[in-house]
Structure 1
């Protein structure tokens, strides 16, 4: 059994909708156990448990949310001895272009080290059905990729 961790932060509810869509679809893959955590609740033990991770963040001032940064701050150095090298992907809820949040998440995640296995999905504006479908597709793709040993 493989383990997928989905971590998110939200203020308006947009990012939570994306995270929950990814989570619900990931649950369809029987070979993967999936957990959904708010960023402030996630810990190093969650990273050690998982075989792959999806980070879901709003774009705040062209950057990731403070809660996601807090998660990285709390886990980065304690994770260092484990050489995690986990596959990851990003879901971004953006009012602008979202590229700043992607760039900075990628930069930090490469230091764990983790490896990006899917292109980030950036949902622009209010969340709609297409955004939810794309987020769900990412969740299912990650879960299946882990279960079948692709990642």
Structure 2
């Protein structure tokens, strides 16, 4: 059974809602044959990445870049997975209080080095909190899991 790994930093009630939305979408009842594993970045590591078939990353914009927790995940996982998970389908959502540009660029640089494959452009949730952010992240989680379920990722 294919496995979707969701690694998302969620330090606030709203960002927890986003992580829950990603999981809810990935566990949609019409998606039957995908295992979903959800972990905060400080608990996820190379073994989780090696065991997955696609990864959905979520982060806050912190000082113009990704959260320290997601950076720590990449620091611990980069070299142990570099040669074994090339081509891993991935997606990203960023809860950005400003524009998210630096965060996106930082994650894209790491993903390029890992040779992972973007399934869509990063989803940047900019500015003041909007309830629609939850729906957009849920759709992203559902799309990732549906792609695995259909065998197209």
State the SS of the aligned residue for 2:83.
Answer: helix
Q: State the alpha-carbon separation in 2 of the partners of residues 56 and 35 from structure 1.
A: 14
Q: State the alpha-carbon separation in 2 of the partners of residues 16 and 5 from structure 1.
A: 16
Q: Summarize the alignment of residues 64-103 of structure 1 with structure 2, pairs less than 5 Å apart.
A: 64-103=66-105
Q: Is the 8 A contact 1:18 1:132 kept in 2?
A: yes
Which stretches in structure 2 are left out of the alignment for 5+ residues? none
Cα offsets for 1:95-122 (capped at 9, x unmatched): 1001111111011011112111112111
Q: State the alpha-carbon separation in 1 of the partners of residues 3 and 85 from structure 2.
A: 17
Q: Is the 8 A contact 1:18 1:91 kept in 2?
A: no
Q: State the alpha-carbon separation in 1 of the partners of residues 19 and 11 from structure 2.
A: 13
Cα deviation, residue 84, structure 1: 3.2
Q: Is the 8 A contact 1:31 1:144 kept in 2?
A: no
Q: Is the 8 A contact 2:88 2:116 kept in 1?
A: yes
Cα deviation, residue 41, structure 1: 0.1
Q: Which runs of 4+ in 1 moved over 4 A?
A: none
Aligned length: 151
Taking structure 1 as the reference length, what is the TM-score of the superposition?
Answer: 0.94
Counterpart position of 1:10: 10
Q: 1:49 to 1:83 in 2, by over 3 A?
A: closer
Counterpart position of 2:119: 117
Q: Is the 8 A contact 2:99 2:127 kept in 1?
A: no
Cα deviation, residue 126, structure 1: 4.5
Cα deviation, residue 125, structure 1: 3.6
Counterpart position of 2:51: 49
Taking structure 2 as the reference length, what is the TM-score of the superposition?
Answer: 0.93
State the SS of the aligned residue for 2:133.
Answer: helix
Q: Is the 8 A contact 2:10 2:19 kept in 1?
A: no
Which stretches in structure 1 are left out of the alignment for 5+ residues? none
